[in-house]
Amino acid sequence: MSFKFNFDIDADGEDVETVGVEITPSIPVEETSSGSSRIPAQLHSLDELIAKLPPHIAFSPLSIPLTSSKTITIPRRELFDVKMQLMAEDNNPSTNSSQSFSAAFTDEDIRTNTYEGGLKSWECSSDLVKQLATDSEVWINSSHRILELGCGTALPSCYILQTLLSIPGGDRPVHLTLADYNIDVLRLVTLPNLILAYLYATNSLPSTDPSVTEGAEETPEIELTQNIISSFLSTLQSHNITISFLSGSWSPAMISLIHGGLEYPSTTEETMYSLLLASETIYSPSSIPEFVDMIEYTLSNNNGKGYIAAKDIYFGVGGSVKDFVDMIEQKRWKWEVVREEKRGVGVSRVVGVVCKS
Ligand SMILES: C[S@@+](CC[C@H](N)C(=O)[O-])C[C@H]1O[C@@H](n2cnc3c(N)ncnc32)[C@H](O)[C@@H]1O
């Protein structure tokens, strides 16, 4: 089944219509208990994904207004650049492309169990960034294991990385895990955006200010040289930050990978996460129970906080905040709405915090 929701955020944080991408499954799929086919979970190291990076990326800064006088800037890879890479890979069978993300572009946002919408930034991800900025005191010193589920372009994790890199590295290690249904999303946008976040935090990006670039119309590009990759890695190391990735569906297998291979539902507190982030991940009623399972088995029981950003209701697909909250209340977890956004007659959006104790 495929869907078009008609929302994305443009460089000024405004909602715009976008064009989705038609994608065919790239790796073997597995049956779920309901009989549908899902991509199996896999763990990926940073090195593995670095080896899949393109030689250069075009980007633009996304401005997220926080207050009337403060704006958060997050650079992100341009969607047209991703499409060009995919088309080039489709025309060149010798590339390491998964021959997957078919180059046939349509206006679909999601194709269920095939492509779950990770190539573009969805509206609630900027709400989540704003909330993280508001609550930075809360997470900076207490969150050392951070998981973003359904990360896609990963604006919240990029904001966290930018923030951590702009303060002196602490003694305690920080581990960031980014999970997306599609490995191609991780290699095409998630990792490129994390590298852009590093370059932005270290003032190493070419300027995108027209007054500095003398009105140049070209979208800025950065060459991902060996030097840039090496300094990205050494900066992470000096800040005691490690990054890993997960692809595939939310499942017992993914939970088991997170816990170092322990058989589901076994977990250890050391491999649980103190901060869990998710934006626009509860649109499908059929996958909300799996998403809640992910929270149950990955969010620390000791003051772990899960920030969930979502639209009140997803017309056409049926997921809603109410369905999600009903499920977590049955588990007797706490839920607090910390941000509400509503523009005009559009659907309301919320950011809520879930805690298990
Ligand atoms: C609508 S996109 C949102 C992307 C991003 N968080 C944002 O707000 O811009 C939904 C994301 O949820 C993830 N997702 C949806 N269903 C999933 C499932 N069953 N298993 C794993 N990931 C899933 C996909 O990875 C996809 O990137």
pLDDT for residue 24 is more than 50: no
Residue 73 located in a structural domain: no
The model's pTM is 0.91
What would the pLDDT profile of 172-218 be if each residue is shown by its tens digit? 899 999 999 999 999 999 999 999 999 999 999 987 665 655 555 67
Q: Is 125 in the pocket of ligand 1 (CB under 6 A)?
A: yes
Mean pLDDT of the chain: 87
Ligand 1 touching residue 7 (CB < 6 A): no
Specify the residue with its C-alpha closest to ligand 1, atom 1: 117
Q: Is residue 129 domain-resident?
A: yes
Model pLDDT, residue 306: 98
280 lines ligand 1 (CB under 6 A): yes
Nearest atom in ligand 1 to 128's CA: 8
Looking at residue 100, what is its pLDDT? Answer: 52
In a domain, 111, yes or no: no
Q: Which atom of ligand 1 is nearest to the CA of 248?
A: 21
As for how many domains the chain has, the answer is 1
Ligand 1: which atom is nearest the Cα of residue 278?
6
Determine if ligand 1 sits within 6 Å of the CB of residue 121: yes
Please state the atom number of ligand 1 nearest to the C-alpha of residue 155.
Answer: 9
Let me know: does 239 contact 197? Beta carbons within 8 Å.
Answer: no
Q: Whose alpha carbon is nearest atom 2 of ligand 1? A: 117
Residue located nearest, by CA, to atom 12 of ligand 1: 150
Q: Is residue 20 part of a domain?
A: no
pLDDT tens digits, one per residue of 48-63: 999 999 999 999 999 9
Angle (deg, nearest 10), helices 226-238 and 191-201 = 70
Asked if residue 90 is part of any domain, the answer here is no
pLDDT at 9: 66
Query: Would you say the CB of residue 320 lies under 6 angstroms from ligand 1?
Result: no
Q: Does 279 reside within a domain?
A: yes
Measured CA to CA, the distance from residue 108 to residue 329 in angstroms comes to 33
From the CB of 123, is ligand 1 less than 6 Å away? no
For 349, the token pair is 């959006």
Q: What is the CA radius of gyration of the chain?
A: 19
Q: Is residue 104 part of a domain?
A: no
DSSP letters along 231-276, please? HHHHHHHHTTEEEEEEES-SSHHHHHHHTTTPPTT---GGGSBSEE
Question: Domain residues for 292?
Answer: 40-57+123-355
pLDDT of residue 17: 36
Name beta bridge partners: 334: 355
Q: What is the domain-level CATH number for residue 171?
A: 3.40.50.150
Q: Whose CA is nearest to atom 14 of ligand 1?
A: 150
Question: Is residue 200 a part of any domain in this protein?
Answer: yes
User: What tokens does 82 get?
Assistant: 């991703």
Q: How confident is the model at residue 103 (pLDDT cuts 50, 70, 90)?
A: very low
Ligand 1 centroid–CA 177 distance in Å is 14
